Chain A
Amino acid sequence: MKVLVTVKRVIDYNVKVRVNADQTDVDLKNVKMAVNPFCEIAVEQAVRLKEAGKASEIIVVSMGAKAAQEQLRTALAMGADRAIHIESDETLESLSVAKILAKIVAEEAPGLVLMGKQSIDTDNNQTGQMLAALTGLAQGTFVSGVEVGENEVQVVREIDGGLQTLALKLPAVLTVDLRLNEPRYASLPNIMKAKKKPLDVKTPADYGVEVKANTRLLKVTPPPERQAGIKVASVAELVDKLKNEAKVI
């Protein structure tokens, strides 16, 4: 079966994000960009399925500005077979991303779609669920375990009170959580090989999807700063402060 994996280009998770001067967005000039960490885990899972003989071909998709091709190359270097870049300089909100993905799913007919559970820039946690709804495929979110069988896939989900195991009919859409696996680093020879792997460039219009804004971003502001606190010298002083100054115990 084919496995379709989505990969989003986002700010590297180590970068300290700052709001820009006119409060229209965060400052993305000259900051390090990377594959969304959850998407990296999705790619790793697909590669492991291929190594285990359960996946035949891995197709990675990214949507956004041209630079997203860097992240597609990273995914190809990790072991994906080919890439599709949906180029757009407009902001693609989750619903538009899901609509385009739904067309790609119809065209490629993957057995499994692996996505990140959340983008670490917008922190939306919704695109996978939207895709599953639009395609009518089974949905497994926040997945930390995957067992692919003949006609179904068993997934372990991280939920509020603990862990839940679901059996989903294939094909299915999975959104992966951090504990599913540890992504590999691409080796230099694989990075070289990835440069020659096929990468198709398309537009939303090629899929007949009209990109629509569901929201308008009015402003972006820094969060309230916390007042700097103090250091206490001993446990006794700490307990005294908590009792008599903060009055929380």
Chain B
Amino acid sequence: MAILLIAEHDNSVLKPATLHALTAAQEIGGEIDILVVGVGCAAAADHASKVAGVRKVLLADNAVYDHEIAENVAALVVDVAAGYDHLIAPAVSNAKNFMPRVAALLDVGQISDVIKVESADTFQRPIYAGNAIATVQSLDTVKVLTIRATGFDAAPAEGGSAGIEVLGQVLDAGVSRLVSEEMAVSDRPELTSARVIISGGRGMGDKAHFDMLDKVADKLGAAVGATRAAVDAGFVPNDMQIGQTGKIVAPELYIGVGLSGAIQHLAGMKDSKVIVAINKDEDAPIFQVADYGLVADLFEAVPELEKAL
């Protein structure tokens, strides 16, 4: 059996999500190849070649794959798919964009957001915002899967010495063009790999008040997240949203501040190891999942917490 893992990377290294997906690949079992696609991403391929348990690395480095335009990346994956029983990728926005195309072009289904591998063809995935877990068996000859990082530990990033095969295919559908990108810059850890997260909701009341969370985050080395309500209100950018339609996180410690705990938000954070809630409403649903709940006004409690750390 052979598995192709399509890497998420930042051109120089594999992102942690790729290493979590690699663990899923190892649980499926078989020879594992990693495809690194993009432009100027040779260093990421080098990184991939050093990961233990990888047979070979495929590198497609060309301007047509810039920003992983879905049409072009999917065409490339389909072009190299022969011989693989599983095509897998971490469930990040890039792969969510191109992987279903790969499946459709191969005339097979996709199993999204796998959280557990039961066998080479049977997987668990959350449905209904994580309120139920479905066990599904693929009936297709080729299995196309996206892997939710929180379901699997990260595989070690060292210990291997796979060869790198450079791919020459230049596949350009020519139907879409990048106009601009506005990426959030932050020195903080990424939400999806942070050990500690402090999140704010509508109760924060104002953009400026997120400073209070930043100060706590500085002390804890934490990432800062938010609810949809906080993003919709313009307090913080969209990439900070956690939940059914945002990022899925499972840190060691999650501190939810001024957020109610709607099911769509819980869908993104309820697998956190320890959950803390600070809310002035003692009946807020977030307290039902919190290990430690503090009924308090956040404007007093958060500065006090910062001082106590």
Q: How many A-B residue pairs have CB under 8 A?
A: 253
Q: Which residue of A lies closest to B177 (CB)?
A: A167
Known: A123-B112, A134-B104. A11 touches B128 (CB 8 A): yes
Q: Are B305 and A238 in contact (CB under 8 A)?
A: yes
In the bound complex, do residue A218 and residue B96 qualify as a contact, i.e. CB atoms below 8 Å apart? no
Q: Are B104 and A215 in contact (CB under 8 A)?
A: no
Given A95-B104, A215-B136, A120 and B244 contact (CB-CB distance below 8 Å): yes
> For residue B290, which residues in chain A have a CB less than 8 angstroms away from its CB?
229
Name the distance in Å between A175's Cβ and chain B's nearest Cβ. 9
- Nearest-neighbour CB distance to chain A for B110, whole angstroms, equals 5
Segment from A44-52, A124-132, A200-208 that makes contact with B: A124-132
Bound complex: CA A127 to CA B137 (Å): 19
Tally of contact residues, B, Cβ under 8 A:
88
Cβ of A167: which chain B residues have Cβ within 8 Å of it?
176-177, 179
Interface of chain A residues 126 through 147 with chain B (CB within 8 A) = 126-134, 136-142, 144
Give Cα distance in the complex from A140 to B171, angstroms. 18
Is chain B's interface secondary structure helix, strand, loop, or mixed overall? mixed
B183 on the interface (CB 8 Å rule)?
yes
Contact yes or no, B244 A123, CB < 8 A: yes
Report the minimal beta-carbon distance from A29 to chain B, rounded to whole angstroms.
Answer: 15
Q: Indicate if the CB atoms of A168 and B127 lie closer than 8 Å.
A: no
- In chain B, positions 244-296 with a C-beta closer than 8 Å to chain A are 244-245, 247, 252-253, 263-264, 270, 273-276, 282, 287-296
User: Would you call A235 and B301 a contact (CB within 8 A)?
Assistant: yes
User: B residues touching A (Cβ–Cβ < 8 Å)?
Assistant: 67, 70-71, 74, 92-94, 96-105, 107-113, 122, 126-140, 173-184, 196, 220, 228, 231-232, 237-239, 244-245, 247, 252-253, 263-264, 270, 273-276, 282, 287-296, 301, 304-305, 308-309
Taking Cβ atoms with an 8 Å cutoff, the residues of A that contact B are: 11, 13, 16-19, 26, 93-95, 98, 117-118, 120-134, 136-142, 144, 154, 158-169, 172, 177-179, 213-223, 226-232, 234-236, 238-239, 241-242, 246, 248-249
